[in-house]
């Protein structure tokens, strides 16, 4: 169910600005990139896919 | 209608923004000025649709992480960078609702409720306004988004179209249809 809130107090611009943290965003991005470029990530994905394939079509 | 300075940019500012984008495509560290410029408007867009303020800050960060990742694919073809960011914000919001299995929020100003009521009825009472709040969740999600952006956030049809991936004219027609649907629900209930 959608929640309707009337006259909700919005944070002011100053407090929103205080929460800006570009370095954190950049670190989150770099972490994501590291994961995708890590061969172990694809190894795990590949191994899981192969296992699923074997379970579905070969073993069962 | 008040103009959104971030949306309606001067040609000089637009050019400056496009040059920052090109630099940021090569090195994400150059994305900083775009983050500072759009953080507040993206946060407010998300905050109005999410109940929890901390979740709104987290989703906002995720929007910018996604934007940095997708930036090399961004090409300026007349659609402002802000609209491109709002599209990412919209998609991240719905991902959040799916992951957390939570419902979305509609934050409305009582002044804006009166403006919507003016579109529906010539004369309206407090009871009518309370009724409107009850029937709003009965709209389809896309119709609610249109009403929300047009009447509660005061966006132009052009901007709505760019965020919803519609032409300006289509956004106008669909918003008009959403208003008719709202009127029908209002008279039925």
Tens of pLDDT, residues B11-25: 888 889 999 999 999
Q: How far apart are CA B86 and CA B38, in angstroms?
A: 10
pLDDT of B1 > 60? The answer is no
- What is the reported pLDDT for A29? 94
Asked, for residue A7, whether it belongs to a domain, the answer is: no
Q: Which of B53, B62, B189 is nearest to A29 (CA)?
A: B62
Instruction: Select the CATH number that applies to the domain covering B11-100 from these four: 1.10.1740.10, 1.20.1250.20, 3.60.20.10, 2.40.400.10.
Output: 1.10.1740.10
Closest Cα in chain B to A29: B65
Those residues whose C-beta lies under 8 Å from the C-beta of residue B119, and which sit 6 or more positions away, are B151, B179
Cβ-based contacts under 8 A for chains A and B: 79
Closest Cα in chain B to A17: B40
Residue in A2, A16, A28 nearest the CB of B103: A2
pLDDT of A45 > 80? The answer is no
- Count the Cβ atoms, other than its own, within 10 Å of residue A54: 11
Q: How far apart are CA B61 and CA A21, in angstroms?
A: 8
Residues 1-60 of A with CB under 8 A from B: 1-8, 10-11, 13, 16-17, 19-22, 24-26, 28-29, 32-33
Closest Cα in chain A to B43: A16
- The nearest CA of chain A is from the CA of B89 a distance in Å of 15
B160's tokens: 């709505």
A26 to A15, B133, B152, B185: CA distances (angstroms): 21, 40, 33, 46
A60's tokens: 């069962």
- The nearest CA of chain B is from the CA of A57 a distance in Å of 30
- pLDDT level of residue B2 (50, 70, 90 thresholds): very low
The residues that bridge with A6 in the sheet, in sequence order, are B108
Q: How far apart are CA B47 and CA B105, in angstroms?
A: 9
Q: Which of B48, B77, B82 is nearest to B63 (CA)?
A: B82
- Predicted ipTM? 0.82
Contacts of A18 in chain B (CB under 8 A): none
Q: Which of A40-44, B94-98, B144-148 has the lowest mean pLDDT?
A: A40-44
Q: How far apart are CA B145 and CA B152, in angstroms?
A: 10
Q: How many residues does chain B have?
A: 189
Q: Where are the domains of chain B?
A: 11-100, 110-188
Asked, for residue A55, whether it belongs to a domain, the answer is: yes
CATH fold of B110-188, please? Arc Repressor Mutant, subunit A (1.10.10)
Closest Cα in chain A to B34: A22
Range of the domain at A47: 24-59
- What is the reported pLDDT for B170? 96
Asked if B136 and A2 touch (Cβ cutoff 8 Å), the reply is yes
Q: Which of B148, B145, B53, B157 is nearest to B108 (CA)?
A: B148
Q: Which of A17-21, B49-53, B80-84, B126-130 has the lowest mean pLDDT?
A: B126-130
- What is the reported pLDDT for B140? 93
- What is the reported pLDDT for A35? 67
For B102-130, the DSSP string reads ---EEEE-HHHHHHHHHHH-SS--HHHHH
Total structural domains in chain A?
1
Asked if B61 and A20 touch (Cβ cutoff 8 Å), the reply is no
- The nearest CA of chain A is from the CA of B6 a distance in Å of 15
Residues 123-152 of B with CB under 8 A from A: 133, 136-137, 144
Q: How far apart are CA A45 and CA A51, in angstroms?
A: 10
Contacts of A20 in chain B (CB under 8 A): 35-36, 39
Query: Are B136 and A4 within 8 A, CB to CB?
Result: yes
Contacts of B104 in chain A (CB under 8 A): 2-3
pLDDT tens for B7-58 read 667 888 888 999 999 999 999 999 999 999 999 999 999 999 999 999 999 9
Those residues whose C-beta lies under 8 Å from the C-beta of residue B103, and which sit 6 or more positions away, are A1, A2, A3, B97
């Amino acid at each position: 169910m959608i929640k309707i809130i009337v006259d909700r107090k919005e944070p002011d611009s100053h407090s929103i600005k205080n929460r800006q943290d570009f370095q954190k965003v950049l670190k989150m991005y770099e972490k994501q990139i590291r994961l995708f470029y890590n061969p172990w990530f694809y190894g795990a994905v590949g191994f899981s896919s192969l296992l699923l394939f074997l379970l579905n079509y070969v073993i069962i | 209608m008040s103009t959104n300075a971030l949306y309606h940019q001067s040609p000089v500012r637009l050019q400056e923004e496009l040059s920052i984008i090109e630099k940021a495509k090569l090195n994400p560290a150059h994305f900083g000025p775009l983050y500072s410029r759009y953080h507040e408007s993206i946060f407010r867009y998300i905050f109005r649709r999410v109940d929890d303020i901390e979740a709104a800050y987290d989703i906002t960060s995720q929007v910018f992480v996604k934007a940095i990742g997708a930036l090399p694919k961004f090409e300026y073809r007349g659609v402002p960078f802000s609209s491109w960011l709002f599209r990412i914000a919209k998609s991240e919001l719905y991902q959040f609702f799916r992951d957390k299995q939570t419902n979305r929020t509609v934050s409305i100003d009582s002044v804006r409720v009166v403006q919507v009521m003016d579109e529906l009825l010539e004369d309206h009472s407090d009871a009518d306004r309370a009724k409107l709040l009850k029937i709003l969740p009965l709209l389809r999600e896309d119709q609610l988004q249109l009403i929300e952006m047009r009447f509660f956030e005061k966006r132009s049809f052009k901007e709505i179209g760019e965020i919803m991936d519609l032409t300006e004219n289509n956004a106008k027609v669909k918003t008009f249809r959403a208003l008719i649907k709202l009127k029908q629900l209002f008279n039925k209930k």
